[in-house]
Every structure is written in C-alpha cells, then in structure tokens.
Chains A and B, each alone.
Chain A
C-alpha cells in the first residue's frame, strides 16, 4: 500500500498526504483506539490517571511480543496456534532450571531456548513434511500443554531461590516506561525494519501473496517459512519469560485461557489477512492496544470478566467489517 501511494504523486503536500493517510487501515484503527480511550475517559473516572496507561502497556507487553511473531508468520500465510501452550513450556522450563542449577542466567537461556526448539519442529513438519500449519499447531497446542501437565502433575513450580532480579525486571521502569514494554517496543521496531526495509521482509509478503509465484521467482520459500516458525515460537517464549517474571512461578496453566485467540484476534483486528500477504505490523500493534484497552477499561468499570468477552467479540466483528469495507472502498477508488 505504501508503494502504491508513493507512486501516486498527484496531490502532494502535507494536506494531500494527510488525506491519503486518513484512508488507510492504520488511520481507521487509530480512530477506533482513540474512540475507546475517550469512551472510557467519559465513563470511568479512574482511567483519567496516567498510571493506568503505563500499567496497561506493562500488561499487554507479552501479547504484543507474541503478536509480532504471529504477524510475520501470518503474512507468509501460515499459522501458529500453540503460542498459549508455549507460555507454559517456557515458564516451567525456566523455573525448573532455576531450581536445578541455582543459576538465573542458565534458567533464562534454557527457557528462551524452548522457543526455537518448538519452532524448528513446527517448521520441519510444515515445510518438509508439507503438513497444514493450522492443524499441526493445533496438535502441538494440546501436545505441549499435555506434556507440561504430565511433567508438573498440575502443580505450579515455585522458584526456590527467589531470584528478585528476575522478578523485578517485570515491575521495574526505564524512565516512565515499564521495562517489558521497552522490550516490546525494541522488538516491534526491529521487526518493522525487517519487514519493510529488508529483502527477507519483502519475500515474506511475496510468499503470502502468491506462494507459487514466489517459488518460481527464486525465493527460498521453505527456508523463510522455517525461520518464521522459529521466530514465532521464539517470540512466544519471550512472552512466556515475561509472564514468569511477573509471578516468579512456572505455572502449568499459563496462557490456557485463550491466549492464542486474543493474540490472533488482535492481529486480525490490525488488518492482517488470514490468507497472508496483506497487512502491517503497525496495524497489529494498534489491534492489540485496542483489545487491551477495552479489556482494561471494562475491568476498571467492574464489568464481569465474561461480559468483557462479549464486548471484545463485538469489537472484533466491527473492526474486521471496517477492514472489508475499507477494501471495497479502495477497490472503488482504484477504478
């Protein structure tokens, strides 16, 4: 889309650029986000404090980081449903290694390593064995969760050493910004550079747009998809690490209440097409922020957790409808 608007030099100048921007997906999402913020500002006085927003950013950092991987994978036309179970795998591995070795860094390394390991398995099964990624990762959603259940016997693993540095990392700030959010921003910027400025990123879009064409034109589809599965599970492992920092425990049910669905909902809300090849990471970030703000606002208003589900669901339908409406308008405009 950016390429298209660059080519159209007709109405240049700030006003022209502004009016063109207002017709993009991201603009619609920014407006939706502002609408949600303003709505809660009016309805719920407690959302008028700055602290609420910093808390929100801290809380949604894991979702944001996991969404980076999911976005890159979905842009190439593949899925990973197992990210919720990955959170538990990472958390349990980390704390088990903490307790076994009494060494914080070994635990963190082991926990983070679970991501690339699981990601390579997914990558191998999908790219080499030609398995459908949605079903494969649905299978590993159950398999990983089940293995965590078997290993922990459904009891949380407590960090016996009580590594405070580890737990503090979640609650500490860098200036006014929460550390987990700083990490999320760094990763988002990195991914954004990769997606928009490198050949690798352009290849991802090409694969998602038309895989056969991409293969014929010499793009290493198999290798790129493999790497994307590793990145996606890796991002999920980082999210799992942050959640483990928050509680200081390896929790067997971490992410079991629909983490993958919330993240995918945010990604789709952000405008990533399910068939791949279309959408931007900025949209994903906005999508996650909208869902996070809605949930937080409703929680502060004391709305029943499950009534929050209804509102989230409705927002999803609204947003996706907005996207399809936007698509129809842009087709009209091109003519």
Chain B
C-alpha cells in the first residue's frame, strides 16, 4: 500500500483506492476492520465514555497481554506449529518472577528469569514437537498440564508483592508521555514482528516452512531451526505478557491464565491465519485482538450482564470464520 507513492500522484491515488477497496472487501483483515469500525461507531453513539482517551487506554491495556502472546502465536501458526501452553505460562512465570523479586529485590534479574523461563519452555516445546516428532498441539497440550502443575508445585497459595519495587508496578500500570506502558510494549512488539514477518528473510522462511516443509527443506531452508525460533519466540512473548500481567495484578497467582491460550489462539485464527500453516496476517491478528477487547469493553460500558462476554466472544469467532469461509468460496479459493 505504501509503495503507491512511487506512482504519479493521480494514478497513485486511484491505485490506492483500488487496493483499499480490495482490502476491505476481499480479505479477512478487511472484514475484521469493517466489524471493528462498525462496533466502535455504535459504541461511540451509545456511550459517551467509550471514545475517550482514558477508556481507549484501558481497552488497549487490557488486550495488551493477549496481543503480545498472539503476535508470537501468529508466527508459530504460520510456520505450521501451535503452542497451547501459553496460558499456564502466565501462572508459572508469574509465581517464579514474583518470588525472585521478593528474595533478591533485583528488578532486572526478575525479568531476566521470567524471559529465561520462556526460552527454556520454548526449547522444550520444540524439542518434543520437532525431535520426538509429536504433533505440536498434543505436545503443548501436555505442556499446558505440566507447566500448570509446576506452578502449583512451586506454591500452594498466591505470592504477594513484598519487595515494593515501584518500577515493577509501573510496567503494567504506569504511563509514558501519557500512554500506558502496556500499550507501548504491545505496539512495539507488534511493529517489530510485523516488520520481521513481512520484510525479512526469516519472515519469508516462516511462510515457506509452513506452506510446504518438504519444498522448504529442498530449498535449503533450515526448517527445524525456523520452527524452533517460532516456539521460543511464542514462549518468550508469553512470558513477557505474564510479567505485564503480574505487574498489573501485583501478586503471583498459580491459577491465573486458564483459557488464555484459547483466547490467544482464537484471536490469531480469527485474524485469518491458517491452522495448516503457510498463510497468515499480523494485521489480522491485531484487528482480531482489538475486536475481542472492544466487545468486552462495550459490554461493561453498556452495563450488560458480564456473562454475555463469554457468549459474544464465541459468537463473534463463529461469525468471523463464517464470513471468511464465504469470502473464500466467493473468490473460488476453496
């Protein structure tokens, strides 16, 4: 879309419009954008509070954890693998990091330990899936149980904040130039990996590996290494989400994050990333996360019974997949 500036001005605008209308009408991203925009307009009309800086800040902060994990998950799914253990990671990383902070009062060390857990679990996931040849959905479902069990094994109760490091609380609740830190992390992670996926050799490798592993191997792409990078990246970003969540909750809870994996994977699939790999979109993931967050926010603002949150999340997933399926058939892709 950006390279239309290379054209002469008149033709450039025409081309831009053609592309924009194609994007809106013929892609999953366009469908999502349309739904999100419609809901935002609706909520702005219905509630005076919705379109205020404060509320948008709350909305985006709340989705930042799911979003950061979903960014890694998008890359992993495109490479043809999946990680169901990210929900349990929220608990495990949380309890470990909080107890490290409590005992050492060293912020950098705590965060390093948290991210290191991500690396280790990511390596274990890739070892089981790639070396032992076990389907990654099953491997990481097993890891979901194991990591959750480890969190409970580590502590029977939640670990309270006794270190009182003010900077740590800032991670999830502070502001930078008026913007909440979680949003800055979220956008930074998103932009970095949007760039990595669409503009780098690694990004092209990820697509190639997911679309056809045999062809990728023959083309000399280190398939296992690329997939391993995907596993580690997803796990590390899940740990990063866990640290933000920990800072927001201010206590390490061993039961937190149940169902988080469904939300993250659901958002990625809703964003148009294919389960079978090779195809996917970071922008789609972004819009899907935004859609799910907006719905939750709207339900609270309109004072609707909060039980609807769960039902509406499910219905929206079904509707989005339905629209995507119809679009594919119309274009004769399926």
Contacts and interface: CB of A to CB of B under 8 A. Distances in A.
Nearest to A126: B325
B269 to A, nearest CB: 5
Contacts of A308: 149
A153 interface: yes
Interface stretch (B43-51, B128-136, B174-182, B195-203): B128-136
Given A131-B325, A314-B142, A314-B146, A136 B318 contact: yes
A32 interface: no
Which of B145, B150, B254, B309 is packed against the most chain A CB atoms within 10 Å? B145
Contact of B152 (A306, A311, A312, A313): A306
B142 A317 contact: yes
B309 A146 contact: yes
Contacts of B322: 125, 129, 131
Contacts of B317: 135, 138-139, 142-143
Contacts, number: 149
Interface residue tally of chain B, by bracket? 35 or more
A3 to B, nearest CB: 25
Interface string A120-162: 0000010001111011101111111111011001100000000
A313 B146 CA distance: 6
A154 to B, nearest CB: 6
Given A149-B310, A150-B308, A310 B138 contact: no
Nearest to A81: B262
B307 A265 contact: no
Interface residues of A, number: 44
Given A125-B318, A130-B325, A154 B307 contact: yes
B146 A146 contact: no
B6 interface: no
Which of A131, A264, A324 is packed against the most chain B CB atoms within 10 Å? A131
Contacts of A125: 318, 322
A310 B153 contact: yes
Nearest to B310: A146
A140 B150 contact: no
Contacts of B329: 130
A274 B151 CA distance: 29
B307 A306 contact: no
Contacts of B258: 257
A306 B157 CA distance: 13
Nearest to B309: A146
A177 interface: no
12 contacts: A130-B328, A136-B321, A142-B317, A143-B317, A146-B307, A274-B138, A306-B152, A310-B150, A311-B149, A313-B146, A317-B128, A317-B142
B149 A307 contact: yes
A224 to B, nearest CB: 19
Contact of A274 (B137, B149, B311, B315): B137
A309 B133 contact: no
A153 B310 CA distance: 12
Contacts of B334: 130
A151 to B, nearest CB: 8
Contacts of A139: 266, 314-318, 321
B275 A317 contact: no
